[in-house]
Amino acid sequence: MTKKLRIKDIAKLAGVSTATVSRVLNNYPNVKEETRKRVLEIIENFGYVPNHSARSLRAYKTYFVGVIIPHESEFTFTFPYFNIFMKNFAHRAQERGYHVIFTTSEGNEIDMYKNFIKRRFVDGFVILDVVDGDERVKFLKNQAFPFVVIGRPSGVGDYIFVDTDNEQGAYRAVKYLLELGHRRILFVNGPANYSVSRQRLKGYFRALEEKGIPFEQYLVMNGDFSEESGYKLTKKMLEKFGKIEAVFYASDAMAIGGMKAFEESGFKVGKDVSIVGFDDIPMSRNVRPSLSTVSQPIEKVAESAADLLVNLIERKEVNSVILPTELVIRESTIRTI
């Protein structure tokens, strides 16, 4: 054939519809492997090259993976966890031969996922900031498109995930505060609809229940994991309760904001009030007093997510990963008994 091959020519030779050829060219998953192979062989034999590199066509890959964050960029980059995660995720992905496309979205996440898949920008996604019943997980499952979840949302069926043992970490933090002699422990949690917040609340509840201390809903407040929300919620708690003996914050950033609020109100952290955070970001070691916290291996979470996603893309066997946490005792807590 001397003339330039068109999609309808490929369809005729392969005995399929033009829509099927288009799905093969865009690497959509809902094509039988036998059909995909036949179409690609025709493409190779007749030299048809669409707006993709020949390498990508032969390998069915772009060698890019995507991260779409459902927040504004300014908001996203204030989170130390995210910065640490992205640095290690990108590094590990590059070691495996892939690069990362990162962007943010404000309310149109599913449309962005549709466009990324339709235009064949990436071979897979990592999903962060998941909520129970997460629509992104449902959509990508329906598309049979490779993805890995950071966290364990409920109400979406089975999926591959990487997570830390959030419930056990929160349990150990609150248990430690109880062992110090504190009995009324306030909890500044993350957003109520986040799966990680649900898990950490379970840990808080379990530690109280084990000691026979009744759970009081008014002692739990919800922030957004940021330093600013920790500061504002602590100010509200001080207005409401006056003296506070102990607070468990669901992120170090919120705890550091809370420390500032206590200091401004004349309370000495580590002397008048005990504080425990969660994450063990570098700043937790550098603030004064240094912050007691639940350490989670953010670097390992990122590396595991990259490995699992690449393995999914390359159709290798994968298993979800739950990583342990560790309680790190520093200067922000005080024994009362």
Measure the CA–CA gap between 252 and 282, rounded to whole angstroms: 10
Are 177 and 291 found together in one domain? Answer: yes
Is 332 among the domain residues?
no
Q: Which domain holds residue 25?
A: 7-52
pTM equals: 0.81
pLDDT score for 185: 98
Is 201 among the domain residues?
yes
Are 170 and 253 found together in one domain? Answer: yes
Is 14 among the domain residues?
yes
pLDDT score for 292: 98
pLDDT score for 10: 87
Token pair, residue 43, equals: 């493409």
Give me the CATH number covering residue 40. 1.10.260.40
pLDDT in tens, 120-141: 899 999 999 999 999 999 999 9
**Peptide bond preceding 80: is omega within 30 degrees of 0, i.e. cis?**
no
pLDDT score for 1: 40
pLDDT score for 138: 94
**Regions of the chain with pLDDT less than 70:** 1-4, 26-29, 47-60
Are 289 and 272 found together in one domain? Answer: yes
pLDDT score for 147: 97
Is 336 among the domain residues?
no
Measure the CA–CA gap between 197 and 256, rounded to whole angstroms: 18
pLDDT in tens, 254-298: 999 999 999 999 999 999 999 999 999 999 999 999 999 999 999
Are 179 and 157 found together in one domain? Answer: no
- Residue 129 neighbours by CB under 8 Å, 6+ apart: 69, 70, 71, 151, 194
Provide the number of structural domains found in the chain. 3
Are 171 and 287 found together in one domain? Answer: yes
Are 174 and 291 found together in one domain? Answer: yes
Measure the CA–CA gap between 179 and 84, rounded to whole angstroms: 32
Measure the CA–CA gap between 109 and 118, rounded to whole angstroms: 14
pLDDT score for 52: 44
Token pair, residue 126, equals: 């990592």
- Residue 157: CB atoms within 10 A of its CB come to 8
DSSP of 274-298, one letter per residue?
A: EEEEEE--THHHHSSSPPEEEE--H
User: Among residues 297, 315, 331, which one ends one of the domains?
Assistant: 297
- Residue 290 neighbours by CB under 8 Å, 6+ apart: 284, 330, 331, 332
Q: DSSP character for 70?
A: S
